[in-house]
Structure 1
Amino acid sequence: MITAAQKPNIIVIMADDLGYNDLGVYGCKDIPTPHLDKLAKEGVRFTSAYVTWPMCGPSRAGFLTGKHQSKFGYYKNVSAPFDPQQGLPKMETIASLLQKQGYVTGGVGKWHMGTTNDQHPNAMGFDDWFDFLGGGLMYFPLDHPSYKGRFSPMKKPLNHKYLQHTLPVIHNRKPVQWEQYLTRELTDAGIRFLVENTEKPFFLFMSYNAPHLDLEAPQQTIAKFPPKKMSKLPGVSPKSRSIYGAMVYEMDQGIGKLLAKVDALGLSDNTVIWFLSDNGGMRKTSDNRPLRGAKGSSYEGGIRVPMFVKWPGKTASGKVLTDAITSLDIGATSLAMAGGQPQQAGLHGKDIRSYLTQESTQAPHQTLYWHTARNMDPEGVIREGDFKLIIRNNRVELYHLKDDLGEKHNLAAKYPEKVQSMKARWLEWDNDKKPPLDR
């Protein structure tokens, strides 16, 4: 039995569309990220960390529920935010499971799980939620001069993208006014939650919108990243890379302020802090090297993400772990830290506490699975040891990641028996997927 005093505070910080190689600790040269680099070096950093889908919505649905999203029929991003058939169905989340363990739960930023009353974060386990319900938000208030009246006053009906990105900022169920750059607004909201919730264990989900499109940042920050000094990347314009760099830098600065408040409140020794991206970086802005592909792809550049965790007094500083883990493990491990039972709760991730501390050096997963189609079509990925099989449109690709991280050499023809056994295992796993929620 874990007492309340023994239960750690848990913070999960999630970036949106961050490239695998866009933090200094992962090798980035053109965007300084000192606060995230420091956090990674104070804890355990993973080099084979995965999310459950290569785009925002299903990946976040998997993380928030701790379950593979195909097992409850969540196959694609919410496109029409007011359609009650789109989004997350009423079900347990990591937040609601932690509530049952005596945690106060807070969320800040991007939701993207639907907008009905039953889909609202407050109905999904979050005691306190600040910001927006759509899949993104413009980074300045809609009357900001840079928009030149595009949104206020409105001149014509909005398309689906801007309908998503112009929903109101809310605190719980009430709209609020905001005046500053969105990333700074989110950071301040996270800090307020910390200040107001020091009396009992808390869970805080910092769901940053950056560096997701649109590309926007304060001009004084963009000026720190002259296009001519940005890394030259195929398909990425120097100007786009410049603004993207400013967005990542602003997020890092905000995270630095958040972590400084954790220290100032005397919470550091009992606060576990996770960081990850929700999927791979965008092709037009990000550096996913040495991985192949980008957001939306079943290659490593779409599903492998930067991830690290600091567990004070438990994890060794600066440890780099190379075995495959998944974002589903965050929920299972956090619930176990809080005194809950991940398997009893039906979570699909694993409690990897002993792996984090290296009390056990055994790889947490022998096999990982993905369903990557936007419907029930038999398309997906299976990773078994160092072998990875991609299944789509009755075609298969087989790669050996240890020898070929860039997925340049398709070995399917060379190892037909391996292809058959891995495909059969994936088909068996995929057999109990559920029909799409929006049928």
Structure 2
Amino acid sequence: MDIRLLILGVCLAIKCVGFSQNSERPNILIFFTDDQGYADVGVYGAEGFETPHLDDLASEGLKFTNFYVPANVCTPSRAALLTGKYPIKVGLHSGVVSPYSTHGLEPEEITLAEVLKEGGYATSIIGKWHLGHEERYMPYNQGFDEFYGVPYSNDMDSYYYKHNDFQSPPLPFYRNEKIIGEGVDQRYLTKMYTEEAVKQIEERNTEKSFFMYVAHNMPHEPLYVSEKFEGKSDLGLYGDVIMELDWSMGQIVKALKEEGIYENTIIIFTSDNGPRIGSAKPLRGMKAETWEGGHRVPGIISWPNNIPKNEVINAVVSTLDLFPTLLDIAGIREMPNLDGRNIKKFLSNPSKLELQDEPIFFYGRNGEMEAVRYGKWKLHIAKARGWNKKKDGSFPVSLYDLDIDISESTDVSKQHSEIVEKLKKLIKEFENSLKY
């Protein structure tokens, strides 16, 4: 018997409560965009375009100002979201999976979809997977009942990799295990994903709660937008793309309301990492960097009648916290060896409850440890990207007080040497705990 399934079955048998297959447990919808920056949403200070539906979602729930992903590029960020573990623990912490790659998220890793499926949820992924495109790594072998989308990034469509003389094929488009198209017209990706999400919501068996993971390709380059949104914003194509993504959220919320299940659906909106061409103001850095702009992203959670409306949350939270939290919400009290925290109680009463500080570790695109945040302090020990070595010399160990210096502009390591040593110790302890 597959040891992974045995462990999962024992865990569910011991830890689960209320596992009748009915609609009392909330539906779970994760809306995950690609390379959308911290300031690329209206309520986060967007300029040149509007996002009324995302803004409405924030007014209906919680807007997080310190929401993080534990990686600054696609593959490791998605691995963390679906496993609840730092990417280094699942072997996907360095770079991204490419069309020529032969690795991916190993089948023995337990995903959020697998646990929810075993618990009676219908599970689906719509959009970008990017955790391995060989058969054993694909979504339908990782806990998802349905897959509608592409196996990796849209820029890998028919791309020639000069360094290893590899010509990638036209971007394959899947429905479950079958390729139903190749080199699809990317102008319609956002529209296609949205229509599929709405269709699945309308066709869901109301006797069974669902987990839907909507992983949009946009606004990852190359940018594409349908005719309806072309020229819609004052910012140009990038703004148009974000406005179509906002429309997508609006259509999904509308469908949930029309089916009478909006009140019983927890919606989570965030991005996989910081922007490549968008805005992370007032943060420093961008995608592929361990400055705040690479890891701190917009984060909104809505769950009518269960969490407060229109509150701004300054507590530090990450996508690692989603796995254990959603399991509790779904009736599964805990899973072993997860890196995040169960913040269900905090979400219900954030004005009165306080989250205990936990370190967040930042790995560079090269897979090397570069920084840690603990409380208000962030220590940088190395910098593979986002630092001009020729111009500025070797990167110096640097400490920032993010409470008063959100832009990481003033190094205070000399004034707080004891904090530097404390954070260095946290890094050392974490790395020593890893089993390679």
Same fold (TM over 0.5): yes
Alignment map for 1:183-194 (pairs within 5 Å):
183-194=190-201
Give the ranges of 4+ consecutive aligned residues of structure 1 lying more than 6 Å apart after TM superposition. none
In the alignment, which residue of structure 2 is the partner of 1:357?
Answer: 348
**Cα distance, 1:248 vs structure 2:** 0.6
In the alignment, which residue of structure 1 is the partner of 2:405?
Answer: 404
**Cα distance, 1:136 vs structure 2:** 2.6
1:176 paired with 2:193, answer no
SS at match of 1:181: helix
**Cα distance, 1:159 vs structure 2:** 3.0
In the alignment, which residue of structure 2 is the partner of 1:236?
Answer: none
SS at match of 1:331: helix
**TM score, norm. by length of structure 2:** 0.86
Alignment map for 1:4-403 (pairs within 5 Å):
4-84=22-102, 86-90=103-107, 91-136=109-154, 158-159=160-161, 166-177=170-181, 181-199=188-206, 200-219=208-227, 221-225=229-233, 229-230=234-235, 242-282=236-276, 285-342=277-334, 344-358=335-349, 361-374=352-365, 377=368, 379-392=369-382, 395-403=396-404
Q: Deviations over 1:383-410 (max 9, x none)?
A: 1111111121684210000110011001
Partners in 1 of 2:338 and 2:197 — Cα distance?
27
Partners in 1 of 2:63 and 2:115 — Cα distance?
26
> Which residue identity lines up with residue 87 of structure 1 in the other structure?
G
> Which residue identity lines up with residue 421 of structure 1 in the other structure?
K
SS at match of 1:169: strand
Partners in 2 of 1:296 and 1:165 — Cα distance?
25
**Cα distance, 1:412 vs structure 2:** 1.1
**Cα distance, 1:70 vs structure 2:** 1.1
Percent identity, aligned pairs only? 33
> Which residue identity lines up with residue 175 of structure 2 in the other structure?
H
Partners in 2 of 1:253 and 1:315 — Cα distance?
24
Partners in 2 of 1:76 and 1:219 — Cα distance?
37
> Which residue identity lines up with residue 221 of structure 1 in the other structure?
F
**Cα distance, 1:97 vs structure 2:** 0.9
SS at match of 1:130: strand
CA contact (8 A) 2:191 2:226 kept: no
**Cα distance, 1:352 vs structure 2:** 0.8
CA contact (8 A) 2:74 2:96 kept: no
Name which of structure 1's ranges 196-205 and 385-394 shifts more when overlaid on structure 2. 385-394
Partners in 1 of 2:59 and 2:167 — Cα distance?
40
SS at match of 1:347: coil
> Which residue identity lines up with residue 230 of structure 2 in the other structure?
I
Partners in 2 of 1:54 and 1:251 — Cα distance?
21
CA contact (8 A) 2:42 2:52 kept: yes
CA contact (8 A) 1:48 1:323 kept: yes
How many residue pairs align between the two structures? 400
**Cα distance, 1:135 vs structure 2:** 2.3
Q: Deviations over 1:235-284 (max 9, x none)?
A: xxxxxxx11111111111122111111111111111110000111111xx
SS at match of 1:367: coil
**Cα distance, 1:80 vs structure 2:** 3.1
> Which residue identity lines up with residue 355 of structure 2 in the other structure?
P
Q: 1:268 to 1:160 in 2, by over 3 A?
A: farther
**TM score, norm. by length of structure 1:** 0.86
Q: 1:129 to 1:421 in 2, by over 3 A?
A: same
> Which residue identity lines up with residue 350 of structure 1 in the other structure?
R
* Structure 1 runs not aligned, ≥5 long: 143-150, 152-156, 231-241
Q: Deviations over 1:113-138 (max 9, x none)?
A: 01112101000000001011012368
